[in-house]
Every structure is written in structure tokens, then in C-alpha cells.
Chains A and B, each alone.
Chain A
Amino acid sequence: MSAVQVATTFETVRTPDPASRPVKIHAAKVKVTYGQKEALHGVSIDIPEKAVTAFIGPSGCGKSTFLRCINRMNDTIAGARVEGTIKLDERDIYDPDLDVVELRARVGMVFQKPNPFPKSIFDNVAYGPRIHGLARSKADLEEIVVTSLQKASLFNEVKDRLNEPGTGLSGGQQQRLCIARAIAVSPEVILMDEPCSALDPIATAKVEELIDELRANFTIVIVTHSMQQAARVSQRTAFFHLGHLIEEGPTDHLFTNPLEQRTQDYITGRFG
């Protein structure tokens, strides 16, 4: 079976949610090409609101590529081209009239490696609200910073050293600082690209706990290499393989009762 046939005849296996949630992000036939190479061959998925959706799959399967389409981070890569439609609340995010800066304020992102700005902890969190003009006064800004740090369960650890550089924190604290920075601009969606892959198990547990808390207010999409993590934090899971979305469904269903042979093989560790 050649790659072209796969691309044209492919059908994703879907299992609907038992408790149906409203759709936040709707993607249809999303293809991404880097130069001549097609990295994503038409992915369609509905991502529910105020829930954690995990993307799993082996390296190079296109899960990060798809994640970066949702806030148009692929725009920054020379030669990347995106086809198909992605809608956020019924609005096409690749519409030329849509402002990409506004989109990124609505769709925050946390990266694989903690990347705080080389500034103070306070300024790290305050940067987003400042450039978007979200705070009317200094007290307002302080309140945003404090609540964001609290929501990221970091406040108690750093409340005495808000003016110290964010780069001086430990890896796990830095990642939670990045999450605080993302939620300070009150986004609707938070994209997380393997947020725990550079962290130790204890820091990972803290971040996972935090993700679980954040789901009450935000729609979260998380890319992860760890199937255990996907099982722990997500409500829905999507399995990517070689640029295709193979199967998606409620997390417990996908891990206990996968419908596709390849999903079964991956979660049982037969390839990876």
C-alpha cells in the first residue's frame, strides 16, 4: 500500500464522548507541508471545551505539528504550509481577516522546555497583560500576577522573591511559571507541547495536578510521549501515527478497548 493511497483512503476511528461536551476547536482535513514534505495528511478532530485532550503517538507522527497549527505557531517556520480548516468557536483561524496576535492571546501555549524570559518572576507573568493592556492600574496588574501564580500553584513557593529572575527557579517551577505566564492573559485554550518531558517525576506530578485543576476553566490540549500521563490527565485521547490521526475517543475507552490494531500495538508497547 503506497503512501498516496493511505492519504486518500484514510478514515479515523472515532468514539463519541459519553457525556457530550460542546466543541471548542473543530479541525477538518488539516494538511501541513514543510517544503516538499507532507507532515500531516488531513487530520479532522473535534476538541471539547473545558476538558483535557491528549495527543499521543511515536516521535515524528505529527502530533506537535498539529498542535502548533491551533495557534498558528507554524506561521513562524519558513516553508510551512497549512491546508484545511481549523475553527475556534465557529471562527476560522486561518481566515486572512483574523489577527494572529489576537488568536495567540486566546490560545496560549506552554512549550517542551521551560522558557521563562530572563526577567524577574513578576515581569514574566506581567508581560502578557502589559502588552495587551489588560491591567488598568499597577494594583490591577499585581492582582493578575498573583492570581495567575496562584492558579499555577506556584505563588506560595515564590511569593517572597517575585523580583528575582525567573530563570533562577528549578525546572518544574520554571514550567509552572510558564503556565502562569500563559494563563495571565486569560486564554480560552492552553496548548501544551510535552510540558513534562524535561521535568523530574515529582515536578511532573505537580504539573499534572495543575493541569487537572486548570481544566475547570480552560480547554487544554496536551501533546505527550508518556501514555501513563495521557491516561492520568486527559479525558479524551487522540492517537497519531505517520501523519494520520488513527483513532480518537474517551481516554479510558482508548486505553482499555482500542478499536484499531495500530493503537493497540502502540499502547501495549509493540512499537514506539
Chain B
Amino acid sequence: MTEATSSLSASRIGGSETRSISKLDIGLKRRYAAERRFRTYGLVAVTIAICFLVALFGSIVAKGYTAFQQTRISMIVNFDANIIAPDGDRSPAAIMAGNAFRFDDLIAASLQSTLELDPNDEDALYDGLDLLSKGSAPMLRTMIAKDPSLIGTKRNVDFYATGDVDSFVKGSIRADIPESQRLVKDRHIAIIQKLEKEGALRLAFNTGLFTNGASTRPELAGVGVALVGSLYMMLVVLVLSLPLGVAGSIYLEEFAPKNRWTDLIEVNINNLAAVPSIVYGLLGLAVFINFAHLPRSASLVGGLVLTLTTLPTIIIATRAALKAVPPSIREAGLGVGASKMQTVFHHVLPLAMPGVLTGTIIGLAHALGETAPLLMIGMKAFIVEYPTTPFDPATALPTQIYMWATEPERAFTERTSAAIIVLLAFLLAMNSLAIILRRAFERRW
């Protein structure tokens, strides 16, 4: 038989000499041209994609970067004990209990001295007060309640300018349009210029953007509550969907008998991944809020709904990762007498871990940007206070973006873009974490 084979191959070699490749047209030019064409298509596609990406990020950053700075007006405030605590009670409770308007007198006084106004010129005073955020008096009150030793002293205080003044200083409200159509009037501009010349009005880093909750006044609005809400939701999603998804996939992939029922389940899981997320929102509304009576607008409910949307992604990724583990490893485990469970948890799962983590982080990133189901369960509420537990009402980053996008003020427009930048930074951080974790778990074969 070996002889037969060798004589056969010999005759093949002999045959190929008579019709040598070099004499035949085997379409080499055509084949190379096809390859070059394909490469060109790829290059063009990648270039277009990069252009779009640059345009997208460019426009968001161009619109949003100004929101990271904010106009402040710093003035020396005389913390007059007669105004703050007329009855002599300096306890924080008494300061917070009183009428906030009395603190307006403090602001008026310091404004008059800063602008060197005639004490009797009320119009000039009101024009000056127009520049300051309406949140200034409550801000002073909180400041004093936190530190009653301020009473009786003179201190430099940074006040927020209103959103419109902020927009004017940043140039998004232009001075060359007619005064009647302009939100910042000529008399205000005069004061702004005067304050600028004195160095009282300046741009500073906008910490409030990250720490404040919702506000109808753009200068006081921030994504703080939304950040905390999103963080809580991500924790709920991680804690629920990772173990459930991984355990479910291990059962389906390694233990469940392969029959019509498990096929049906598999098809349905794949279909669930494609269900519009708003449907999950409706489900969450019906089950978690109407039936289980969980608190409305809470990050727990948001997390539960997002868990539902994330589970199919995690299950599909985990099953793919488990399938990719070579069967020889399972045989090796079983061969030395490990039980099925030991084989899976000691050998198969560690090898599948990089894939599982990648799937989980992709699922989480998806959940982080999910908006529609959160609108259904009321997570677009106006929340000023920080949630302390996942049971408290909160908003999420995408719903906050959605709410700000519907506001007309210039200052909200830039904050919308700024919030998108924050969301993208959050996503980038999560994806980097995924890459780091995958590297850490990867094993060489």
C-alpha cells in the first residue's frame, strides 16, 4: 500500500511538470486586485468611522467643556449678628428655621459696598442682585448653620452668578444682539464689566456640577444625585446579574440535559436580548412597583429593571465563553475523579472567566446608558437630596441628560453636554476596568 501511494504521488509530480503553473493564467492579478479592493474598502470604512467619532466627541466636548467652569462673584460679607440671629439664638436649628429672606439683607449690604452704590438707589441694588443666583441666600444660611462661629466676622464669600450671566461671561449670550432680545440687559452688562475690572467676577472650576442635585436654576444644578443613583443601580445590577447570569449559564451549558425544553429556553434567552428595553420598563412598573410595592423612582427598582435587561447579555457571553473552553479540560478533570461540579468550578469556569467578565462589563455599560426603562419607573423625578440608600428616590445619568436636554436655558445646554461627558468618562472607566480584569484573569495555554 505504501508503494502504491508513493507511485501515485510520483505520477502527480510528473503530471504537474507538463502543465507548469508559470505557463497557465491562474488569475493571480485578479486575485491580488480583489484583495487590494477589499483592503481599500476596509480602510475607507475605518476612516469614515473615525471621522464620525471625532465629530461626535468634538461636538460634545466643544459644547460641554465650558460647563466645567462657572462664573463666581466674590464679595466681602459682614456676618451681622443682628440680622442672622436677632433673638441671640445661634444654634444651627434656629438659623435654619428662620426666614431665608433675612440673609438677602446681608447680600444686599455686601453688594452695596462692593459696587460702592448709593444706599438709597434701590434700582441699582436690584440690578446688582439680578446677577446673583437666587440660591445665594439659602447658601449663606447653610454656610452659617454649618459654622456659627462666622457670625460677627467679615469674610470673602464666592457667590454663584445666575445662569444667564454665566452664559454671557462665557460668550454664549452675545452682546451684539438687540437688547430687547437679550436676556442680559445693558445695565447688567455694565455691572458685570465693573465687577470684572475689580476682579470680583471670575471663572472658577464648577464643583457644583458634580456635587449638586436637581435644580430649576442651571447654576445650581448638578449630576451629583444622578451619579450616586447610577452607581447604586450599577451595584444592584452587578450583585444580581453576575451571580444569576453566570450560575444560569453554567447550569444550561454544563448540567442541563440537551432536549427540546432547553433548546426553547436558549432561543428565548437570545430573543430576550433583543426585546426593546422600554418593555422591560413596563414589566418593572407592573411587577416591582404595582405588585411588589417597591418605592417609586428608587435606584433599587432601576437596578432590578436593568438586571432584567442585562441578564440575557451576560448569559449569552458566559455561555459562549464556557463553550470555548476545550472539552479536553473537562475530560482531564473527570478523568482524575473530580465530580462534574468540581470540574466546572475548578477548571472550566476559571478558563472562561475573561469572557465572563468582558460580557458582564459590556452588559453593565449597556445598562448604564439605558434610559427608556428608567423613564417608565419614574426615575426622571426632580431629586435635590442625595439618596442615602438604594431605596431612596434618585435619578440616573442618562435620565438627567434627558431632563436637561429639554430645558431652554443656554446654561442647561452646556450642562447637558457636560453630563454626557461625565457619562462617557464613567463608561470609559468601566471599560478600562474590564480590560484590566481580563488581563489579570487570562492564562497562557
Contacts and interface: CB of A to CB of B under 8 A. Distances in A.
Contact of A108 (B1, B257, B336, B342): B336
Interface stretch (B302-310, B323-331, B359-367): B323-331
Given A78-B258, A104-B335, A185-B337, A131 B342 contact: yes
A202 B84 CA distance: 95
A127 B336 contact: yes
Nearest to A269: B1
A79 B338 CA distance: 22
Contacts of B347: 117
A118 interface: yes
Given A76-B330, A78-B257, A111-B328, A101 B339 contact: yes
A132 B326 CA distance: 24
A71 B444 contact: no
A268 to B, nearest CB: 10
Most buried by B among A78, A117, A184: A117
Interface residues of A, number: 32
A116 B337 contact: no
B335 A118 contact: no
Given A118-B443, A167-B445, A128 B331 contact: no
Contacts of A181: 332, 336
Interface string A229-268: 0000000000000000000000000000000000000000
B150 interface: no
B325 to A, nearest CB: 10
A167 B444 CA distance: 8
B351 interface: yes
Given A118-B444, A167-B444, A270-B1, A109 B338 contact: no
B334 interface: yes
Interface size class of B (residues with CB under 8 A): 20 to 34
A182 interface: yes
B346 interface: yes
Given A78-B257, A78-B258, A167-B445, A117 B332 contact: yes
Contact of B337 (A76, A131, A167): A131
Contacts, number: 74
Contacts of A102: 337
B1 A101 contact: no
B329 A115 contact: yes
Contacts of A71: 335
A111 B334 CA distance: 12
Contacts of A118: 329, 351, 443-445
Contacts of B332: 111, 115-117, 178, 181
Interface of B: 1-2, 257-258, 326, 328-339, 342, 346-347, 351, 443-445
13 contacts: A73-B335, A76-B334, A109-B335, A111-B328, A111-B332, A115-B328, A117-B329, A117-B347, A132-B337, A181-B332, A185-B336, A270-B1, A272-B1
Given A118-B351, A269-B2, 20 more contacts: A76-B334, A104-B334, A104-B335, A104-B336, A104-B337, A109-B331, A109-B335, A110-B335, A117-B329, A117-B333, A117-B347, A118-B443, A118-B445, A128-B337, A131-B338, A131-B342, A167-B444, A168-B444, A181-B332, A272-B1
